[in-house]
Amino acid sequence: MKLIRDASEIIAKTLGEQAVGQDEAVRLASWCVAVPAGDGGVLLLNNFTKELILIDDGDGLSGLHDLKETDSELFCYLSRHWFTVPVALDDKNLVDEVRSVVSCMNKPEGIVGYTILTTTDCNARCFYCYEQGLERVNMSRQTALDTAEFIKKTAGKKIKLHWFGGEPLFNSSVIDIITDELKKSGIEYHSTMTSNGYLVTDSVVKRAVESWNLKGVQITLDGTEEIYNRRKAYINPKGSAFQRVLDNIEKLLQAGISVSVRMNLDMDNADDLHKLCDLLADRFSSYEKFGAYAHYIFDGKTADSLYYTLDETYIELEKLRSYRRDKIYKCSFKVFYYPVPA
């Protein structure tokens, strides 16, 4: 017999050596795979311990099915190393027990980041939204509780939550539920959000700071007031949505929450975004945690599409984006890319 590969150290340590009674009937374990290896030899793989041996005594596969020589060196080795087991042993139950022990001994660091869709619904109707056609569904209270339980079981020492949608604030109550549950369990977390900013209120800001540990928000602005209001097409807007969102950006900044404005760029609004840069600079450049960046709208024809499919359009847009980036630098506020800094 020749050892080709050692057993997994942690599995071998957990199992220990098997002791089989002298007169106890045994069989080849169900996790073993035997393959002929020429001249009557056999490669024997223990899929449980990962040990691989070559039995080259000429007995071949038939020898593995006639395990009666309890005093032979090979028989004793196969027994000690879990290639053979008592006939009555419940293989599956043993595997489950060992895996449970190993998972406790070798616990991974855990997941460190979670993106949570509170809803697929939204209060805006952007013409370029990639979620068009999706069913508008809110996360339920029970699903929020289940989500919190999943995070508790899988989280690392310190985690980041990212609230997404739809418009995540359209169903903000589940954010309260999840963060309350995590807080009760002593899990250390902070969060960020992708939002249109319209539903930010004093109450939302208070909860964001005290309960959600919200560190940053990405908010999209597609242009100055007239263009923005037309493009976002909010349902049941009250007054100017543009002015409301600007006010809400200031609320977040005053509360110490970073805001990154994403300026969606296409061939129709490029010049207006230049004006938007000036407007944002006048109002927000004094805030350390304010930033902006420009990015073109993708075509949406494929799930991973980042650019317009027409090469000449993409090239022109890239030039426009570079121009906007230079403008942002000149406006003396930071270029914050997604995700927002926390």
Map out the domains of the chain with their CATH numbers.
Answer: 2-105 (no CATH), 112-330 (3.20.20.70)
More confident residue, 155 or 38: 155
Concatenate the DSSP letters of all residues of 80-145 into one string: HTTSEEETT--HHHHHHHHHHHHHHHT----EEEEEEESBS--S---TT-TTTTS---BPPHHHHH
Neighbours of 87 (CB within 10 A): 9
**12: pLDDT strictly greater than 60:** yes
Neighbours of 322 (CB within 10 A): 11
User: What tokens were used for 214?
Assistant: 């919200």
What's the whole-model pTM score?
Answer: 0.63
- Tens of pLDDT, residues 260-302: 999 888 878 888 888 898 899 889 988 989 988 887 775 444 4
Concatenate the DSSP letters of all residues of 261-305 into one string: EEEEE-TTTHHHHHHHHHHHHHHHTT-TTEEEEEEEPP--SSTT-
Q: What is the pLDDT of residue 58?
A: 57
Neighbours of 106 (CB within 10 A): 9
If you average pLDDT over residues 186-194, what whole number do you get? 95
- Tens of pLDDT, residues 316-342: 555 666 655 666 556 655 555 444 444
Q: What is the pLDDT of residue 156?
A: 82
**304: pLDDT strictly greater than 50:** no
Closest residue by Cα to residue 116 from 181, 178, 173: 178
Q: Give the distance from CA 73 to its chain's centroid.
A: 51
**Which residues, other chains included, contact 119 with Cβ-Cβ below 8 Å and sequence gap of 6+?**
136, 137, 138, 139, 165, 166, 167, 168, 170, 171
- Tens of pLDDT, residues 62-94: 556 555 555 578 888 888 999 888 888 888 889
Q: What is the pLDDT of residue 121?
A: 95
**Can you tell me the distance from the alpha carbon of 26 to that of 59, in angstroms, rounded to the nearest whole number?**
18
**54: pLDDT strictly greater than 50:** yes
**Can you tell me the distance from the alpha carbon of 19 to that of 325, in angstroms, rounded to the nearest whole number?**
72
More confident residue, 34 or 319: 34
| DSSP, res 337 | P
User: What tokens were used for 330?
Assistant: 């000149």
Angstrom CA distances, 278 to 134, 263, 298, 324, 332, stand at 36, 13, 25, 11, 10
